[in-house]
Amino acid sequence: MSDDRPPFLRTLARGALLRCPVCGRARVFRTPFRVRHHCPACLALFQREEGFFVGAIMINVVTTEAAVMLAAGFGLLLFAVREALLLPLLFTVALLFPVAFYHHSWSLWLAGDHLFEGLPRRGSR
């Protein structure tokens, strides 16, 4: 099966699907909340230096804030939710969204890093 998408879209799609951004043949996560050290198919290194995944946390925080703002906007404008109901709704979104988006923030951060500088291979240092 050929993939005719531009390379950057292919890489982002792999990130969105939690697949290796380099080859797309393996999953980024070994267990539900544990990132693989490297891709077993192409040896691209996922576990980088200390602090590398601060960007993934930043993506998760910014996306969570956007989700909270969207929930507030929909709640107030479309459904006219009362404030007494809106605050618990927003609190729930702020608690659950980052957990639900955790994997994608890491995978998309890896894909973005691969787009900008390419992931190193295991043992290439």
Q: Which residues are at the interface with Zn ion (CB under 5 A)?
A: 20, 22-23, 39, 41-42, 44
Nearer to Zn ion by Cβ, of 3 and 65: the residue is 3
Residue nearer to Zn ion on the CB measure, 22 or 59: 22
**CB nearer Zn ion, residue 11 or residue 105:** 11
Residue among 26 and 56 whose Cβ is closer to Zn ion: 26
Closest Cα to residue 21, out of 34, 35, 32, 31?
35
Report whether 81 contacts 75 (CB < 8 A). yes
User: Could you identify the residue written with the tokens 């050929």?
Assistant: 2
> Which amino acid type is present at position 55?
G
Residue 113 CB, nearest approach to Zn ion (Å) = 14
Radius of gyration of the chain, Cα coordinates, nearest whole angstrom: 18
* In the complex, minimum distance from the CB of residue 72 to Zn ion, in angstroms, rounded to a whole number: 39
CB of 50 to Zn ion, least distance (A): 23
CB of 53 to Zn ion, least distance (A): 18
What is the 3 state secondary structure string of 73-109? HHHHHHCCCCHHHHHHHHHHHHHHHHHHHHHHHHHHH
